[in-house]
Structure 1
Amino acid sequence: MRPPSQFGNDITNTTSNGNNDGDGFDPNGGGGAIPPSIAHLGGTLICARLAGNGVIRVVRRCDDAKENGTNLDLSECQLMQVPDAVYHLMRNTELKTCDLSCNVIKKIPPKFAVKFSLITDLNLSHNQMSKLPDELADLALERLDISFNNFTTLPQVVFKMPKLRHLAANNNSIIEVDSDEKAIKSESLEYVDLRSNPLTPQCYERLQGARLHFHLELSPRVQEDWEDLTI
């Protein structure tokens, strides 16, 4: 049985809880009462067959966001992507902040920027991402956290966000940053954190010598053994 279209595919990375169905649903009631939003989207049958603990957690977080009116917290929800159900549930809420940290998300789709066009604070830390969609440049983001991901280069789209002030990109696998002063120019950026990234020696030196209009945090560079020609 496939999930209904409201929920989309791969809503969470939930594994089976030991039941024979293999759908991640705990028949013993581990997920608690059925949230009204699930009942509205398909009733108890959908919940019983498809809505495991992860799905119920997501829907409850969406309900919380509706109540507070500004903040959607989907951290630690075992998400592999942003479910279509989230866009549906939040369609009448003008979100300002979105926390997707501590999941297993590999990419953000372009439609994210269309559906959540008013957010100013986006937390994507502690995921498995290696790129960002260019459409994020259309957002009025002021804070963006992409730390603890799999980025190997700093996405150029971050320098195209007109209101971005704070960027956290530490603890990735970034080895190269386009250090051309024109390419990394930003009128709004105030702070960029690139600590704990394996920048190449050439990139590190270029960044240190670049005339930047924002504060750049870099980890102290430790010279590799192969760089010491006296050995």
Structure 2
Amino acid sequence: MVYARHVQAASTGNQQLTCLQLGNDAGLLHLRQRLLEREGVTLQNIAQRNEFERSIARVEPDVLVVDWTISFDDRRMLAEQAKRTRPECVIMAFHASARNDDWVDCACDSRRGLGILMSAWNQCLNIAQLRRHGHAELEEEYVFVADAHRKYVYASPAALSLLGFTLPEMLSMTVDDLTFPRTEIAPAMFEEFKRTGIMEGDYVLRKRSGEPLRIRFKATALDDGCLVSRWQPA
């Protein structure tokens, strides 16, 4: 039996984000429900799995959570259904190996504790807010978004493909981690950007293989203080 739950979570922008959570273990879902409710997230029952597609169409979730208790093939199928219904839907997978899956936006092993769960949840909220706002900058081919702590909160599919990372892997990194070679240049440039609000120039990124990738970039600030960097290979 696959259980579905509807999650409503207040974002930092005071907008309501909706989420469908699916899993085979009702007890595990209830446990996660209690943990999230302590952090201000409200969950309620919606449907069994055979009503999943109707629930997606009715709720139009910002986030789809698929639990590790569902088989890999079913997780991927459910994610694809959600994307067809709502292309901007964020896919969150509760499975350690999901970090390597290209159809997952955010991966989490919730058995590691509340801190890991909430960190992953906040990543989902960040991505969902970016997609909901429809920033024109995000429509370009090669795009990164980083928060005020230089931690990545979004990367475009083309950027991920060129560098060889999945989105969950990118969300665990900072700008410093992708700088080639890793030096103190990233913090200094970031501080300058925060003073000016705009920056452009040349930079060298590190691919997954360890090879350098020279780019030409232009960075601007979003309303929430994040930095969005649009770039092209040099």
Q: TM-score, normalised by structure 2?
A: 0.30
Q: TM-score, normalised by structure 1?
A: 0.31
Higher strand share: 2
User: Which is greater in Rg?
Assistant: 1
Higher helix share: 2
